[in-house]
Every structure is written in structure tokens, then in C-alpha cells.
């Protein structure tokens, strides 16, 4: 029988399991704390459990572990990890250092099937979803490696979190649980290319996280060229889902807009963007597009990006230009891949 992936269980699931083996119910909380707060790697380290129970856990369950296949440190202090999963697949994780604390960018899938033409993560399609424990371990292992706490999480690495909905949600619930790392949902951002029905599902959960939408274009026709998901859901449907999301959750939405020379950086684009966002509480993050092998796009000039921002601000759209971290080690947005190169 396949072993239980114990680190992917929320406390309620662990309670059920503990009950099913006839152990006392408080044991579930003890195990959960060992796994998610103290981050032990073996049942033998769970010293307040009886020997018999530890043996039972060993027989029934597996504790997911990752290993560092490669680690690169940028001149700006950013660290990029290539983590190897237990089945040999690899994903990348990026640790960014800011004055307000450490921020981690986690991957949700091995590869990606969304096919955005400017992004390296999708060039070879999707291999598989990550389990909640594999997403959690990217943070736990990184904290151990640097000997410091991580306070902010962005789900902006490889893969599409809303295409791995249940595991992404379990990850958020576990990482923000008081018995685990207790990271505030306010400090967690989830980024999506815009799978509209899943945005409605997410809204219903009323989480305190920040939803980020990778918009990158201002008309459905233009967006279809770079983001194939637009063949399924138009820009208008996406924006309606965003409005409804804010209505249900009360949370402001963040829009990512990568600036591509001659593609989406004109005055008319700024004008249309402001129209699209009219009446919304939103924030636009302008990201100079990062170079990716095999992609035909180049960054808009700095002065074009600044003018675009100014135009948005004049139109009362809250817009900032994102700082580029880790470019020298290909750890910037859209540069992550699941290969070992």
C-alpha cells in the first residue's frame, strides 16, 4: 500500500488518521507541530511520542524531503535553489532578501502547461503537480539552509497554482496555521495567469492572501498572442472575476504587467489598462520582461517604462515598477525551469 504523505495533511486530516489508528487525539497536534513548526525529518525525532506509535507512523507514512541539487547566490544576495524531489524531478525556489525580511518564491508544479510565450517555465510543458508537502518543504528546507526565518511567500515560481488548486490551498492553510509556521495570509501572494472558474472557487474560501493576476496585455486579441489561456477566458471575463473576487473577499488585487518592447508598452496600452481597472481597488506591478532563451521579446526601455507608469498614475492607477532581483543567476520572473542545467 502506498504510504500516507503525512506532511500534506492539514490538522483535520491528521486528526482523522490518528483516530483511525486508535491513538489519543492530542497526538495529532503533537505530530503536526513536529512536522510544521519544528520541521523534523524523521519520526524518531518526535520524542514525546511513544516508541510503538513512532513505529506505526513509520510503517504507514512518509515524511517528504527535498535535497539541494544546486544552489546559486546572486550578487544582490538572492539565492536560487534547484531542489530535487523524491522521484528525481526538480523544481526551482528563490529566496529574496529585503529590508523587511526574507521572501520566498515557491514553485507549485514540475513544469507548466499554460504556454505563455515569454516564460521559461512552460517551454517543456507540465510533468506533474507538486504535493502540498513538496511546496511546504521548499520553505522549510530553505529556512534550515539559511538559518533564518522566511516571512513572506510568493507563489510565483514554476507552474500555475490554480491548476493545482487543492494542493495550493492545503499549502496556504498549513503554512498559515497557528500550530505550524503561522505565517500571516497577508504575507502570502498567489499569482495566476487567470483560470477564471478557479478564481471564483478561491474567492469562496475568503482567504486573506493577495491575489496577483498576470495580465500583460490590455485586449483579448493581444493577450491571446502571448497567453494562450485567453483562448478560454477573455480579458473581460477575467476582469469581471477580479471585480467579483474583491466584492466577495474585500481584498485588493494586484496585477502583473511585464513590459515588452513594441508589444504592450504604448500610450494606448496605458490608457486601455486604466479603463480596464476603472473603479477597482488594484495595484499594478510593472515588470520589465526578463530575457528567456528562445523567446523573441525584449524589455521596453527604462524611459518607456517610467513614462508608462507616469501615465497610469495620472489616470489614477496605482502603479509601481518591480525591482529586478537575481537576474545574474536567472532567478528572475519567468526564468525558472525544472531542468538541471
Catalytic residues: 92, 333
The number of C-alpha atoms within 13 Å of 243 and in the hemisphere containing its C-beta is 11
| 119 contacts 112 by C-beta, under 8 angstroms | yes
Could you say which of 74, 93, 142, 192 contacts ligand SAH (CB under 6 A)?
192
User: In terms of DSSP bridges, do strands 126-129 and 109-111 run parallel, antiparallel, or are they unpaired?
Assistant: antiparallel
Q: Which is nearer to ligand SAH, 79 or 331 (CB)?
A: 331
The verdict on 130 binding ligand SAH (CB under 6 A) reads no
The radius of gyration of the chain from alpha carbons, rounded to an integer in Å, stands at 21
Stretch that binds ligand SAH, among 52-60, 144-152, 186-194, 271-279 (CB under 6 A): 186-194
| C-alpha–C-alpha distance, residues 93 and 331, integer Å | 8
Residue nearer to ligand SAH on the CB measure, 35 or 289: 289
CB of 33 to ligand SAH, least distance (A): 31
Among the residue ranges 17-25, 173-181, 187-195, 231-239, the one whose residues contact ligand SAH (CB under 6 A)? 187-195
Decide if residue 195 touches ligand SAH (CB under 6 A).
no
For residue 94, state whether it binds ligand SAH (rule: CB under 6 A). no
How far from the centroid of its chain's Cα atoms is residue 58's Cα?
A: 31
289 binds ligand SAH (CB under 6 A): yes
Sequence-distant (≥ 6) Cβ neighbours of residue 258 within 8 angstroms = 118, 216, 264, 286, 287, 288, 289, 290, 333, 334
Select 63 or 235, whichever has its Cβ closest to ligand SAH. 235
With binding defined as CB under 6 A, does residue 256 bind ligand SAH?
Answer: yes
- Please tell me whether residue 156 binds ligand SAH under the rule CB under 6 A: yes
Q: Using CA atoms, how far apart are residues 233 and 42, in angstroms rounded to an integer?
A: 45
Span of 69-77, 127-135, 173-181, 190-198 interacting with ligand SAH by CB under 6 A:
190-198
Element spanning 286, H or E: strand 282-288
Q: Which of 193, 239, 242, 263 binds ligand SAH (CB under 6 A)?
A: 193
Dihedral angle at the C-alpha atoms of 56, 57, 59, 64, nearest 10 degrees? 180
258 binds ligand SAH (CB under 6 A): yes
Instruction: Give the x-and-dash track for 50-89 against ligand SAH (CB under 6 A).
Output: ----------------------------------------
Q: Which three cell numbers stand for residue 287?
A: 515588470
CB atoms within 10 A of CB 87: 9
In the complex, minimum distance from the CB of residue 289 to ligand SAH, in angstroms, rounded to a whole number: 4
Nearest Cα residue to 123 out of 131, 115, 135: 115
The H-assigned helical ranges of 118-195 are 132-146, 165-175
Q: Which residue among 90, 203, 276, 292 contacts ligand SAH (CB under 6 A)? A: 292
Closer Cβ to ligand SAH, 39 or 295, answer by number: 295
- The residue assigned the cell 473576487 is 245
Residues 6+ apart with CB under 8 A from 69: 82, 83, 84, 90, 340
Pick the closer one to ligand SAH by CB: 63 or 119.
119
Q: Which residue is nearest to ligand SAH (CB)?
A: 334
Judged by CB under 6 A, the stretch of 69-77, 96-104, 191-199, 267-275 that binds ligand SAH is: 191-199
Q: Which stretch binds ligand SAH (CB under 6 A): 28-36, 113-121, 231-239, 275-283?
A: 113-121
Interaction with ligand SAH in 259-288: which residues (CB under 6 A)? 287
Write the Ramachandran bin of 334: left for phi over 0, alpha for psi from -120 to 50, otherwise beta: left
Q: Where do contacts with ligand SAH occur on this chain (CB under 6 A)?
A: 114, 116, 118-119, 156, 160, 191-193, 214, 216, 256, 258, 287, 289-290, 292, 333-334
Amino acid at each position: 500500500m502506498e504510504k500516507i504523505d503525512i506532511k500534506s495533511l492539514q490538522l483535520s486530516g491528521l486528526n482523522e488518521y490518528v483516530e483511525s489508528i486508535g491513538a489519543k487525539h492530542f497526538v495529532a497536534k503533537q505530530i503536526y507541530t513536529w512536522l510544521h513548526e519544528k520541521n523534523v525529518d524523521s519520526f524518531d525525532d518526535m520524542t514525546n511520542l511513544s516508541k510503538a506509535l513512532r513505529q506505526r507512523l513509520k510503517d504507514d507514512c512518509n515524511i517528504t524531503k527535498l535535497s539541494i541539487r544546486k544552489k546559486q547566490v546572486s550578487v544582490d544576495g538572492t539565492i536560487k535553489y534547484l531542489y530535487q524531489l523524491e522521484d528525481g524531478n526538480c523544481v526551482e525556489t528563490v529566496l529574496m532578501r529585503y529590508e523587511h525580511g526574507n521572501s520566498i518564491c515557491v514553485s507549485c508544479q514540475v513544469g507548466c502547461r499554460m504556454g505563455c510565450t515569454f516564460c521559461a517555465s512552460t517551454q517543456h510543458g507540465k510533468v506533474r503537480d507538486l504535493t502540498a508537502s513538496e511546496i511546504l518543504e521548499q520553505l522549510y528546507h530553505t529556512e534550515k539552509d539559511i538559518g533564518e526565518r522566511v516571512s513572506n511567500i510568493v507563489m510565483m515560481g514554476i507552474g500555475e497554482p490554480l491548476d493545482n488548486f487543492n494542493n495550493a490551498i492545503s499549502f496556504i492553510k498549513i503554512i498559515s496555521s497557528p500550530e505550524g509556521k503561522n505565517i500571516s495570509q497577508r504575507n502570502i501572494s498567489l499569482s495566476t495567469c487567470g483560470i477564471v472558474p478557479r478564481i471564483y472557487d478561491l474567492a469562496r474560501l475568503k482567504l486573506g492572501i493577495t491575489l496577483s493576476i498576470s495580465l500583460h496585455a490590455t485586449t483579448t486579441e493581444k493577450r491571446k498572442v502571448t497567453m494562450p489561456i485567453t483562448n478560454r477566458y477573455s480579458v473581460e471575463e477575467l476582469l469581471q472575476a477580479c471585480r467579483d473576487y474583491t466584492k466577495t473577499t474585500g481584498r485588493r488585487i494586484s496585477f502583473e504587467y511585464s513590459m515588452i518592447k513594441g508589444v504592450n508598452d504604448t500610450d494606448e496600452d496605458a490608457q486601455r489598462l486604466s479603463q480596464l481597472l476603472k473603479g477597482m481597488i488594484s495595484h499594478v506591478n510593472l515588470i520589465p520582461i526578463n530575457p528567456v532563451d528562445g523567446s523573441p521579446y525584449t524589455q521596453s526601455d527604462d524611459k518607456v517604462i517610467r513614462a508608462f507608469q507616469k501615465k497610469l498614475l495620472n489616470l489614477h492607477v496605482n502603479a509601481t515598477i518591480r525591482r529586478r532581483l537575481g537576474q545574474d543567476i536567472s532567478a528572475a520572473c519567468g526564468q525558472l525551469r525544472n531542468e538541471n542545467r
